[in-house]
Structure 1
Amino acid sequence: MSSTGVPSEVVVVGIGADGFESLPASSRSLVLEAAVLWGGSRHLSLVPAVPGQVRVPWPSPLSDGLPSLLREYAGRPVVALASGDPLVSGIASTLLDLGAPVRVVPAVSSVALARARMGWSFESCAVVTVVGRLVARVLRECAPGQRVLVLSSDASTPDALASLLASSGWGASRLTVLGDLGSSSESSVSGVASSWSETSPALNVIALEVAGNGLASWAPGLPDDAFENDGQLTKRDLRASALARLMPAPGQLLWDVGAGAGSVGIEWMRSRPTCRTIAIESDPERAARIARNASALGVPDLQVVEGRAPAALSGLESPDAIFIGGGATREGVLDTCLAALRPGGRLVVHGVTLETEALLAQAYADHGGELTRVGVETTAPVGTFTGWTPARAVTQWAWGRAEN
């Protein structure tokens, strides 16, 4: 969004659960002297009446209505109210993403209050927001002994999280639901996920102490049986090899082309919370399976595009990395992927047929990079003895685009 279509400044003032009077004098002055005040209905009701002040509640749904609201007040200064620290899963982050000139005046965040109540240091816990998002995002952070603060959507989040943990091998985890933090009605209730039956307030943060035997690893190469699949799966040793060359980095986007079970794209996202994947798969059943695998493994925000490359690649956001696990010999697929990569991007292609191997050998001759043939053998019974069983060899071509 152009800066000409937004207010001249949006000052976002954080307000705690203890209300307007708890704000420092400087913050109260900003709010009371504002010509235009935005905020949720609850926050707006906390502020004393000001003659002539225009008060505008956030539109619903927010994501659809906010751009129009910004345009309506283009060129004018605005003050907005938000809970706690507006940059902790808050409205200030959304406004910044939309190109608004934002100045933040924070109050104490719910995260800071939750850590204080639990006695958890900053470096000893992770934070996951499920505000307006799928609760399955918490699964990525689960490992024995891990501490996680979960920012809830509403009163139903603790029940949903407890059920998810119990069904994912983490039923022994302890949940402490901290309600209305910083207010006179602050509450705390604890229990174990597998037997959770508590009632939670609408405003809550969940302090999660993870215990159990669920899947816990951020290293590439999860066990093959972690993925629901019909045989179209990049096996763990080859997956680890591909990801080592794709080199996931924070905030970067992967195209997983011919995604099959989605394993490479899922592990790309598991490597860092901000990594993103678009999985392209032409088979409807496999596309649905990818989404199920992504949710089960803690990355439900993975985007699935049902379609056949190269046509299905048209209009997608340019990627930082591309993995082609199937369909490389289809006309236009490799050329389209090579052209789509951002500067500094990485491409990895796997092939098991002579035709794909010939294509990759020619690509290596034309562009350079790294051409590797990977063979993996695993043990299996041979009568009453044990012997080696070779898997089908895979040719792997890895290439990187130079930085501009």
Structure 2
Amino acid sequence: MTPWLHLVGIGDGGMDTLTPEAARIVAGAEIVFGGARHLALLPETHPAERRPWRSPFADSAPDILAARGRRAVVLATGDPSWFGPARWLRGVLGPGEFAVLPAPSAFSLAAARLGWSLEDVRCLSIHGRPPEALVPELRDGARLLVLAEDARSPARLAELLRARGFGASRLHLLEHMGGAAERLRETVADGDVPADVAALHTIGVDCRADAGARRFSAVPGLPDDAFRHDGKMTKRTLRALALAALEPMPGALLWDVGAGCGSISVEWLRAAPGGRVLAIEPDAARRAMIAENAARLAPAGLRIVPERAPAAFEGLPAPDAVFLGGGLTDGLFPAAFGALKPGGRLVAHAVTLESEQILLALHEVHGGELLRVSVAAAEPVGPYRGWRPAMPVTHWHVTRKGTP
């Protein structure tokens, strides 16, 4: 199929930034879609019909479909496949209906200006996303390139960095790259952050942790005191074991059933880029803990379901993994296991004898791996130290047969 629509990337310098092929296609367009800023880059003499995006953006889908059979162009900034409209268009049009002609992305331009290697940088966006989505990326020595939302983005990002113990981080504000108004300025998160920033800009973040700031790894097994909890939570050692068995994958969905304070949910989101969690928890006080812990440690991808399982499962999307940590009862496992995608993993923990009996019976029928885990911690005993055992936990994990 010959594409009837072309998604053309354009730089801040306007038509002069287009390749000869892109310039030819834009010149021959009958209809051009884009934001007001992009449409303003067209020459006044261009005869094409100009169609600005609707608000919300998705409402433009009928306009795109109505243009079938015409020579249509969508103008977008830089590389449209980097946080641009390319993904959205793939959901609107069929295969082969449109082609992408990219310009250098904001990330490529920023890396070139700063002398950073793109393979060593995390390329992110807070355009239409809260700055808190960057929290899992904050590590000492990390370098981030961030597409901004508007002129307030540097101040909001600096506030986030200070609150997370990264006030010493350097911020590079790159405005109108490739255009006549290009400007590069530097500051630190705990210093004076310019307010007169152009709406179109990218922020380079050279992450530096403050002296004494607490740092958390992305590896599962955060310290228990990293979470606000009421004592009933999956403790660090068992949590690391559970996450290893759940196997977090990019974009995968977890059902955390009886989520408690959300420690499993948070660790899943930190370990699975783009991952999602449905934290199912009927207790209001614990739902508040889940929300607080996620906001501090993994703020993106979580949805709290305020109902009791298994009734809460009705209408939920099928999970890639399920964690049953809130107490096993008869009838809970069949509903959870039946909802799993083929190849999905289920992990269950039992502390009481009654729950353990349920696991033993399920293991006999479904197989999987069954472990009994006992952990003892060294604690003071008078002037000496001794082992203080925690309650043993029975761990079971099983994979639903079939090809994902």
Cα deviation code 1:254-303 (max 9, x no counterpart): 11111111111211111132222221111223223222222211332322
Q: Write the distance in 2 (CA, Å) between the matches of 1:312 and 1:166.
A: 38
**1:99-114 equivalence runs, <5 A:** 99-100=93-94, 101-114=97-110
SS in structure 1 opposite 2:111?
A: helix
1:90 aligned to which of 76, 79, 84: 84
The aligned residue for residue 188 of structure 1 is 184
Q: Distance in 2 between matches of 1:28 and 1:104?
A: 13
Confirm or deny that 1:130 pairs with 2:126: yes
Query: After TM superposition, what 4+ stretches of structure 1 lie above 3 angstroms from structure 2?
Result: 7-10, 49-52, 66-77, 97-102
Which residue does the alignment assign to 2:35? 40
Number of the residue aligned with 2:399 = 400
Displacement, 1:402? 2.1
1:56 aligns with 2:55: no
Are the counterparts in 2 of residues 18 and 182 from structure 1 also a CA contact under 8 Å?
Answer: yes
Equivalent residue, structure 1, for 2:114 = 118
Letter in 2 for 1:96: R
Q: Find the residue that maps to 2:40 and give its secondary structure.
A: helix
Are 2:290 and 1:290 aligned? yes
CA change 1:77–1:353 in 2 (3 A) is: farther
Mapped to 2, the partners of 1:355 and 1:127 lie a distance apart of 49
What is the aligned partner in structure 1 of residue 365 from structure 2?
Answer: 366
Q: Is the 8 A contact 1:163 1:193 kept in 2?
A: yes
| Residue in structure 2 matched with residue 210 of structure 1 by the alignment | 207
Query: Identity over aligned residues, as a percent?
Result: 44
Deviation of the 1:131 alpha carbon: 1.3
Q: Does structure 1 conserve the Cα–Cα contact (< 8 Å) formed by 2:30 and 2:70? A: no
Query: Which one-letter code corresponds to 1:209 in the other structure?
Result: D
Structure 2 match to 1:81: 75
In structure 2, distance between residues paired with 1:308 and 1:335: 15
Q: Which whole-Å CA distance do the structure 2 matches of 1:176 and 1:298 have between them? A: 25
CA 1:267–1:352: 2 relative to 1, 3 Å: same
Aligned-partner residue type, residue 183 of structure 1: G
Worse-superposed segment, 278-287 or 199-208:
278-287
Partner of 1:337: 336
Q: Which amino acid aligns with 1:201?
A: A
TM-score, normalised to structure 1, is: 0.93
- 1:68–1:356 distance in 2 versus 1, CA, 3 Å: farther
Following the alignment from structure 2 to structure 1, what is the Cα–Cα distance between the partners of residues 336 and 345?
Answer: 10
Is it true that 1:29 corresponds to 2:24 in the alignment?
yes
The root-mean-square deviation of aligned C-alpha atoms, in Å, is 1.9
- Assess if the C-alpha contact under 8 Å between 1:327 and 1:333 holds in 2: no
TM-score, with structure 2 as normaliser: 0.93
Report the Cα offset of residue 175 of structure 1: 1.0
Cα distance in 2 for residues equivalent to 1:277 and 1:9: 39
Amino acid at match of 1:147: R
Task: Find 1:66's aligned residue among 54, 60, 65.
Answer: 60
Instruction: List aligned pairs for 1:375-390, cutoff 5 A.
Output: 375-390=374-389
Cα offsets for 1:124-159 (capped at 9, x unmatched): 211121111111121211111111111111111111
**Cα–Cα, structure 1 residues 75 and 226, in superposed 2: closer, same or farther, change >3 Å?**
farther
Cα separation, partners in 2 of 1:9 and 1:380, compared to 1, 3 Å: farther
Unaligned runs of 5+ in 1: 1-6
Contact kept? 1:8, 1:75, Cα under 8 Å: no
CA, structure 1 residues 102+312, in 2 after alignment: closer, same or farther (shift >3 Å)? farther
For these two proteins, the number of residue pairs brought into alignment is 396
Name the SS for the 2:300 alignment partner.
coil
For 2:37, the aligned partner's letter is R
CA contact (8 A) 2:253 2:319 kept: yes
Asked if 1:247 is matched to 2:247, the reply is yes
Q: Please state whether the residue corresponding to 1:218 is helix, strand or coil.
A: coil
For 1:350, the aligned partner's letter is: H
Whether 1:324 and 2:330 are equivalent positions in the alignment is no
Report how far residue 232 of structure 1 moved.
2.9
Distance in 2 between residues matched to 1:337 and 1:165, nearest whole Å: 39
**2 CA distance for matches of 1:357 and 1:99?**
52
Distance 1:221 1:183, change over 3 A: same
* Residues in 1 aligned to 2:178 and 2:214: alpha-carbon distance in whole angstroms: 34
Q: Is the contact made by 1:265 and 1:279 (CA closer than 8 Å) also made in structure 2?
A: yes
Amino acid at match of 1:345: G
Find the counterpart in structure 2 of residue 312 from structure 1: 312
- Residue 195 of structure 1 aligns to a residue whose secondary structure is coil
